[in-house]
Structure 1
Amino acid sequence: MLESFAARDELNEVVKTRVVKSCELLDAGLRLYSNTFERLHDAAGVLAENELKEGEALGGQVYSVAGRIMALRSFGKATFFHIMDASGRLQCYAAKEVIGDEAYSTFRKLDIGDIVGVVGHMFRTKTNELTLECHSVMLLTKSIRILPDKYHGLKDVEIRYRQRYVDLLVTPRTKEIFRKRIKVVSEFRKFMEAEGFLEVETPMLQPVAGGATAKPFSTHHNALDMKLYMRIAPELYLKRLLVGGFEKVFEINRNFRNEGISTQHNPEFTMCEFYWAYATYTDLMDITERLFAHLAQSVCGSTTITYQGQEINLAMGAWHRVSFYDSLEKIGGHTPDFYNDYTAVQKYIRQRGEKVIEGEKLAKLQAKLFDLDVEPKLIQPHFIYHYPTDISPLSRRNDDNPNVTDRFELFITGREIANAFSELNDPVDQRMRFEAQVAEKEAGDDEAHSMDEEYLRALEYGMPPAAGEGIGIDRLIMLLTDSPSIREVILFPLLKPVN
């Protein structure tokens, strides 16, 4: 065993010492990795059951608990130690005179990080701390690597992301973030079901990349000898279900976009998209306010939360609604004469260090202007609506002004959280917009939509008037857990391999 570890370059003295201990335990006839212990109780349950008990009342029940050793204090013939399971921590006490000389000698070879099963009864120490006095201690898993120092933990952020399993063990806040994430998703699902939406599943491998403006990942299916794309959005499939007669559908899904990595972007991320027949984008604004207020109250205990030192009010009725062009003027500080001047906007964007594609439409330049001078200022919840038609290829045109669409994006803390619109259900208009997107793709725009003939065929059967929305779950979790980076709320974020 020692030789197999010694062959590794990373072997250090601590690991070597633990390997030697493991060899000694093996020589003594012990199993290092056993699965015969019967766990009947958890740490939190044991503590709760005995919280109000005193004296002899504590000794009547024998408990069987398993967990990882997180602390050890030895006093010669007795040792106090803490074990941790998913429910919490429990102090334990092992005495030589109780478990026996041989068992105690074996116990003394155990280390912080080892997983053990303990059987015993409860008592209170002189400091009145509930403690389990062990009748027996059984090694279940030997830990070869040492856990980080309990006072310093994992300080290197990249190591925290790469070794999330260790981060979860030694950083209570990390575990709390992911417990909240689980609760948010659960409450999200309950809310949608209570509103009458049906949860469905759509393909993650698609022959045509569509449903969003993004660069896809591609792969190849050998049996069919065809190129496929990892889903960038489920939109076009969910809207097929509206054609098929479903009227309220949602999907909590994984999407993949071949884009940069930042504090707000991970190539693999979670979205919820939902579609509602006979509804409009304003209906979606109303349900979104109800949803976010519900989630904040359920998960955080209040509709007022704090994000990076800023107080955010998610209560219904506190949300702002501003049109796209009004936001350029009233929030961005640009006059209509400026933001409608193609040359002036193009020059300004380049001066700000942003890329401009030759021949890019004015609406796309205005969107970049919005990203630069409006989005960072949208701290409280803002619905920005009536986006230009040229940058909304799947959205319904506004009846009064066909140059804009009945679409909104939701911004909170200076970042986009959701995108929604009344759906375009005119197959002729949709085909013309797809053709414009294909032209942009041929001109070098990797994020432009492709022509999806099967989706157009579905529209030709007739899709009812409807509205749909996509909400970024990861960014929502960031907001509700006060996390500055998306990597804090994804268990295993994508990282560049270590050489």
Structure 2
Amino acid sequence: MERSEQELVRRENLRRIREMGIEPFPAATFPVTHLATDILEQAEFDDENKATNFGEVTLAGRVMAVRVMGKAAFAGLQDSSGRIQIYVSRDDIAPGEDKALYNDLFKKYLDLGDFIGIKGFVFRTRTGEVSVHVQEFTFLGKALRPLPVVKTDEDGNTYDAFSDPEARYRMRYVDLTVNPQYKEIFRKRSRLITAMRSFLDDLGLMEVETPILQPIHGGAAARPFATHHNTLDVPMYLRIANELYLKRLIVAGFDGVYEFAKMFRNEGMDRTHNPEFTAVEFYVAYKDYNWMMDTCEALLEHAVKSVGENGSTRVTVGDNEIDFKGPYRRLTMADAIMEYTGEDINGADEAELRAICQRLHIHVDKTMGRGKLIDEIFGEKVEGHLIQPTFITDYPVEMSPLTKKHRSKEGLVERFELMVNGKEIANAYSELNDPIDQRERFEEQLKLADRGDDESMPMDEDFLRALEYGMPPTAGIGIGIDRLVMLLTGQKSIQEVLFFPQMKPEA
């Protein structure tokens, strides 16, 4: 591979460092005592500008800027928390006659992006910048490729930014190094998941794990990724959902289980869809979808507070301020369609629904059954209007093959979806626990598959066998983590909230 001039210079510097008897990729532990941000935020100084609340400090990180002034230099050291200025004096880090540690290693062979460790004391410069006066210097790792140099002037203007989305997503390791402000997105993601996990633990649920490789791709309407198990000589699928396995555990006698799980759906990629995504699903025995709506409100209010400013439940997304404090509006699917289209779908058969779609200029095809037609109407004409958290309830039975029939409304099921900012965030049911009804629903799905619907659910005989052993009344829900993080961090693209989104092969 042809290397750039800078890459060749760095390899020459690597060779020179080794000639000095210094290992450029040392294996020993380096004992870090402080982070840059801790010092910047907490330092207090006496009249001589020395920190009074910090003694000796040890930091490690990348060198992101160097300004040499003869026998001394200032540099920018960036660790996981942020960047701090360091002051390096030749006679401090090389106190004897041999000044090679400063004159050669620091001044000549140290490149931007290299990892170093320092030990010293905290002081404040004449210009008021909190800094670390280096007394010991250790080389910790050589960067053989140059980082993009992003410059910011005194007025806050940025030059040579590493901002191309494809480059950023493909080389996230570079992106988060030179654009450290994006790290906060992933810190919030982590805090959100921690808060949700804590809430579910306090609810008395048990965290479990279920198979990612499955012999039948059940639990949702989606196309799977297919593979082959060589030893068993059978086709296998990456899971599109973990629902059916979690319900098997309810059959097994657990009162409540949850899983933060990776799902895989062989579908399109856009600003709100990635083929690999994260969801949390939980199932609780002896509950229904009404209980789950209350619980969903409480869970999200708790979780959003964990990442909001000063514990706020309000987030700003574009021009909209969204409040996750309950209670949320509850609206049946038929009422929502009536409200935003003026069309009444109650009791409408497939032909009547096709006529409604034609009036509303919604494109449909012959593979779509009654449920898919209603879903198209809702998605095209209603979804985008639902900005504040809204529970859409009571779906047609054709749209929900795993859901218990409504206790009082013929042709409907006890299901809700939580819509926020025009997108689905959560999907929940009173779970279908009648194995005879469940078999009939699967058979209806097989008929849709015969019509060409490649997202219909297959028959799962083992799941039906589990239901025949008896499952108590159960409420279940799935919440999409990626879309929720998008909302809470104000991101318009799902790629911004994934460390490593799916990308086309690199040319």
TM-score tier, shorter chain, comes to over 0.9
Counterpart AA for 1:35 = A
Cα distance in 2 between the residues matched to 1:343 and 1:332: 15
Summarize deviations over 1:130-150 as a string: whole Å, max 9, x none: 322222322211112222222
Deviation at 1:58, TM superposition (A): 4.1
Q: For residues 95-145 of structure 1, what are the alpha-carbon distances to aligned partners after superposition, in whole Å with 9 as ceiling and x for unaligned? A: 123223211112012121110011222222112333222223222111122
Q: Distance in 1 between matches of 2:323 and 2:68?
A: 51
Structure 2 residue matching 1:185: 3-state secondary structure: helix
Instruction: List aligned pairs for 1:24-63, cutoff 5 A.
Output: 24-36=16-28, 38-43=30-35, 44-47=37-40, 50-52=43-45, 55=48, 58=51, 61-63=55-57
Taking the aligned partners of 1:338 and 1:108, their CA distance within structure 2 comes to 80
| Amino acid in structure 2 at the alignment position of 1:116 | I
CA offset digits 1:214-243 (Å, max 9, x no partner): 111111111111111111111111111111
Q: 2:355 pairs with 337, 341, 344, which one?
A: 344
Which position in structure 2 is the counterpart of 1:400? Answer: 408
Name the CA distance, whole Å, in 2 between partners of 1:167 and 1:355: 41
* Aligned residue in 2 for 1:321: 330
> Are the aligned partners of 2:195 and 2:306 in contact in 1 as well (CA < 8 Å)?
yes
What is the Cα deviation at residue 447 of structure 1?
A: 0.7
| C-alpha contact (below 8 Å) 1:338/1:344 kept by paired residues | no
What's the counterpart of residue 416 of structure 1?
424
Distance apart, 1:39 and its partner CA: 2.0
Q: Map of 1:283-362 to 2, 5 A cutoff?
A: 283-300=291-308, 301-317=311-327, 319-336=328-345, 341-348=352-359, 351-352=361-362, 354-358=363-367, 360-362=368-370
How far off is 1:53 after superposition?
A: 5.0
Read off the aligned partner of 1:344 and give its amino acid letter. A
Q: Aligned residue for 1:102?
A: 100
Separation in 2, partners of 1:137, 1:57: 20
Q: Which residue of 1 aligns with 2:154?
A: none
Counterpart-to-counterpart distance in 2, 1:381 and 1:424: 26
Say which SS state the counterpart of residue 34 (structure 1) adopts: coil
Q: Tell me by how many angstroms 1:335 deviates.
A: 4.0
Q: Is the 8 A contact 2:205 2:257 kept in 1?
A: yes
1:113-132 equivalences under 5 Å are 113-132=113-132
Give runs of aligned pairs for residues 235-246 of structure 1, distance below 5 A.
235-246=243-254
Does residue 190 (structure 1) correspond to residue 208 (structure 2)? The answer is: no
Aligned partner (choices 2, 6, 25) of residue 14 of structure 1: 6
Q: Is the 8 A contact 1:389 1:402 kept in 2?
A: no
The DSSP-based 3-state class of the residue aligned with 2:14 is helix
Q: Which moved more, 1:428-437 or 1:14-23?
A: 14-23
1:251 is matched with which residue? 259
Map Cα deviations across residues 346-383 of structure 1 (whole Å, 9 max, x no partner): 5357x44x34134x322321210111000111111111
Q: Any conservation in 1 of the 2:442–2:459 contact (CA below 8 Å)?
A: yes
TM-score w.r.t. structure 2 length? 0.92
Question: For the residues of structure 2 that align with 1:408 and 1:396, how far apart are their CA atoms?
Answer: 12
1:393 counterpart SS class: coil
What displacement does 1:45 show? 4.3
CA contact (8 A) 1:313 1:380 kept: yes
CA distance in 1, matches of 2:341, 2:445: 28
Pair 1:72 & 2:82 matched = no
Q: Residues 57-103 of structure 1: CA distance to partner in whole angstroms, max 9, x if unpaired?
A: 64983332211111211112211012111233222111123223211
Q: Helix, strand or coil for the counterpart of 1:387?
A: strand
**Alpha-carbon spacing, 1:264–1:200, altered in 2? closer, same or farther (3 Å):** same
Which position in structure 1 is the counterpart of 2:391? Answer: 383
| % identical equivalent positions | 43
TM-score (structure 1 length as normaliser)? 0.93
2:482 to 451, 474, 499: 474
Q: Contact between 1:338 and 1:345, CA under 8 Å: does it hold in 2?
A: no
- Tell me what 1:457 maps to: 465
CA shift digits 1:232-267 (9 cap, x unpaired): 111111111111111111111111111111111111
Distance 2:71 2:448 in 1: 78
2:306 match: secondary structure: helix
Counterpart residue type for residue 342 of structure 1: L
Q: Which residue is 2:155 aligned to?
A: none
Query: Are the equivalent residues in 2 in contact too, given 1:332–1:370 (CA < 8 A)?
Result: no
CA displacement at 1:282 relative to structure 2:
1.0
User: Please, which of 204, 211, 234 is the counterpart of residue 226 of structure 1?
Assistant: 234
Matched, 1:276 2:287: no
Indicate which of 162, 167, 190 corresponds to 2:170.
Answer: 162
Give the match for residue 4 of structure 1. Answer: none
Quote the Cα distance in structure 1 between the aligned partners of 2:222 and 2:332.
24
Q: Which residue of 2 aligns with 1:144?
A: 144
Q: Deviations over 1:266-313 (max 9, x none)?
A: 111101001111111111111111111111212112111101221001
Instruction: Quote the residue 2:373 is aligned against.
Output: 365
The answer to whether the 8 Å contact 1:26/1:32 transfers is yes
Which stretch shows the higher mean deviation, 401-410 or 49-58?
Answer: 49-58
Question: Which whole-Å CA distance do the structure 1 matches of 2:224 and 2:455 have between them?
Answer: 8
Q: Does the CA-based 8 Å contact 1:395-1:405 persist in structure 2?
A: yes
SS of aligned partner of 2:10: helix
Letter of the aligned partner of 2:22 in structure 1? L
Q: Following TM superposition, by how much is the alpha carbon of 1:439 offset from its aligned partner in structure 2, in angstroms?
A: 1.6
Change (3 A) 1:56 1:476: closer
Counterpart CA distance in 1 for 2:186 and 2:450 is 42
The CA deviation string for residues 130-187 of structure 1, in whole angstroms up to 9 with x for no partner, is 3222223222111122222223431101111001011111213310000000000000
Point out the more displaced range, 12-21 or 200-209: 12-21
